[in-house]
Structure 1
Amino acid sequence: MMKPTLLILAAGMASRYGSMKQIDGFGPNGETIIDYSIYDAIKAGFGKVCFIIREEFADNFKAIFEPKLQGLIETEYVFQSYDLTPFGIDKTIERAKPWGTAHAVLAARDAVKEPFCVINADDYYGYDAFEKMVEFLTTEVAEDQYSLIGYQINNTLSENGSVSRGVCKVDENGNMVQINERAEVYFKEDGGIAYKDETGEHDLPADTRVSMNFWGFTPAVFEQSKPMFTRFVQANEDKPKAEFYIPLVADELIKTGAASFKVIPTKSKWFGVTYVNDKDIVKESISKLVESGTYPLNLWNDVLVK
């Protein structure tokens, strides 16, 4: 049986964080958040990790990850670029940032031939999520049956400011009916949770399921999303901040009946680095996981992984 691939989105600019948070060190020996994701992925049964990066990041990424991953898991690097000719668009559109997460996934269309999952480089997801995704990708996934890991919203917020979250509406069968991107989600002063949009503030229950960009697909999604991206560019070529997000693809596939998305609940608590002030929180969280025995002190010297 072909093992699934882990696709890591690491081409973002980290404008709010102020540096390349994808390769910043948080663990006791300078481990990145990606290190812990890959460690969990190997343990869960993934066979390859594919980094989606900007080409100018390639040397830094390879210097950091190749020495520690050699012999443990296959690696590949693909580049998210501004070239639109592969999508039938013969023009250059000037942008300060890439075209978004779903466009980044399309960058891997020639590199990934097996079922795969997509995660962010700067998010900690927890082993439970990887274990459940491998189970799905090896027993249930199909061209019309995809998935996402659904986190409880109260386990995903930052104490340092508002964040964007894909808020899921789930039916009685556990499938996603709709996903709405909420750009400003935050803890209220009374401890409740809300999001803000142009119509005002709206409360959200603490057990609301949200997407943290942990998706399960087959390679069929590349052909399904390619025409969507072409249409998106044509409709937004004069909007330099418009981004083609994975939830946009999911929403269209659901509405057209082309695919369903199983929402897989996880008990894991998410943490990540949106703001520079999140760094101390992430370091403390990883330190507690090491102290509890969830991870070894020297991550890549663990003989159980090797």
Structure 2
Amino acid sequence: MSNSEQALTLVILAAGLGSRFGGDKQLAELGPNGETMLELSLKSAYKAGFSKAVLIIRPELAPMLDEALMGKFVDNFSVEYCVQSMDDLPTTVQGFADVAQREKPWGTAHALWSAREHVQGPMAVINADDFYGDSAFSLLAEGLSAANDDWMMVGYPINLTLSENGGVNRGLCQVVDGKLVDVAEWLEIRQDALGLTGLLNEERLVIADNAVVSMTCWGFKPDIFAVIEQEFSEFIKLHGKQPKTECYLPSVVQARIDNNSHATSTWGVKVSVAQESWYGVTYPEDVEWVKVKLQQTLTTK
């Protein structure tokens, strides 16, 4: 079966703890009619042609999500849960991990790997607590339906993704000829005396104002799971005893790009830059601003 004939699945990373926000952002009612960001994304995905969603969650979120989503979707759009469990590790590296000492989940790469039994075809991967806009899902559906093995990413201009209330983490991207060359996770990005700066490998550096960032809006083919297993296994060998270190999806994508750089294959990660603004809440102080922006965006369509 070709990619164009396969059903499209939306995988939503919804297991985060929202530590800086102070609660479960997945359940925050931010839309003009009290919708959560997750509900808005599900509606956008359905309009774009996705037929299934897999929500990666902590088990205690299930009853609250049931209540929030009950009766919101048509019969030909299925929503199922996948629990991210900290002891769900590749068998070859379980001895390298100290699960009992973990203070938080293993990160976004592990979260997606947790869904490996739930997804058979091409998939989009997003965060539950971000607003991406209808056009992002249309771009994802178009790219994932192409008859090739390429992955893809919908990126956003960095200045549209910052918070006035504190630093944020972003995957900064280098794009050449429409394909992703490099993506690196920068932490605590903020405006300061030097301009826009962030932490890369614990060093604070200046960031270009026109940088494109990954907001966890990816399109993958099923081979992503094998790549995650390999890279996450290496991560566990190095960091499995540490209580907070996380394995990020951008690191896995970068490893695939690097491993393919000397190959004769034309495979790549195609990049589209979103035509709509991204909105998200990192801190409680972001809530009212995001509500206003969503009201303006969704009631003017």
TM-score (norm 2): 0.90
The percent of aligned pairs where both chains have the same amino acid is: 38
Which string of whole-angstrom CA distances, capped at 9 and with x for unpartnered residues, describes residues 171-214 of structure 1? 1x211111111102123469x52224577643322221110011
**CA separation in 1, counterparts of 2:123 and 2:67?**
25
**CA separation in 1, counterparts of 2:29 and 2:160?**
23
Q: 1:218 to 1:199 in 2, by over 3 A?
A: closer
2:139 corresponding residue in structure 1:
132
Letter in 1 for 2:240: E
Confirm whether residue 165 of structure 1 aligns to residue 170 of structure 2. Answer: yes
Q: 1:35 to 1:196 in 2, by over 3 A?
A: same
Please give the residue correspondences for 1:138-287 in structure 2 after superposition, counting only pairs within 5 Å: 138-142=145-149, 145-171=150-176, 173-188=177-192, 192-197=195-200, 201-257=204-260, 260-287=268-295
**CA separation in 1, counterparts of 2:147 and 2:181?**
19
Letter in 2 for 1:166: G
For residue 139 of structure 1, give the secondary structure of its aligned residue in structure 2: coil
Contact 2:109 2:247 in 1 (8 A): yes
2:29 corresponding residue in structure 1:
25
Letter in 2 for 1:252: A
Contact 2:90 2:233 in 1 (8 A): no
For residue 194 of structure 1, give the secondary structure of its aligned residue in structure 2: strand
RMSD (CA atoms): 1.9
Residue ranges of structure 1 left out of the alignment (5+ in a row):
295-306
Which string of whole-angstrom CA distances, capped at 9 and with x for unpartnered residues, describes residues 107-162 of structure 1? 110010010010001111111111111100001551xx211111111111111111
Contact 2:178 2:270 in 1 (8 A): yes
**CA separation in 2, counterparts of 1:119 and 1:216?**
9
Q: 1:274 to 1:65 in 2, by over 3 A?
A: same
Which string of whole-angstrom CA distances, capped at 9 and with x for unpartnered residues, describes residues 192-246 of structure 1? 5222457764332222111001111011111122122112112102221110100
**CA separation in 1, counterparts of 2:147 and 2:163?**
33
**CA separation in 1, counterparts of 2:89 and 2:241?**
18
Contact 1:253 1:260 in 2 (8 A): no
Contact 2:90 2:229 in 1 (8 A): no
Confirm whether residue 98 of structure 1 aligns to residue 118 of structure 2. Answer: no
Q: 1:72 to 1:274 in 2, by over 3 A?
A: farther
Contact 1:160 1:275 in 2 (8 A): yes
Aligned length in residues? 289
**CA separation in 2, counterparts of 1:141 and 1:41?**
21
**CA separation in 2, counterparts of 1:19 and 1:287?**
22
Residue ranges of structure 2 left out of the alignment (5+ in a row):
none
TM-score (norm 1): 0.89
Bigger Cα displacement from structure 2, 274-283 vs 27-36: 27-36
Confirm whether residue 112 of structure 1 aligns to residue 119 of structure 2. Answer: yes
Confirm whether residue 76 of structure 1 aligns to residue 80 of structure 2. Answer: yes
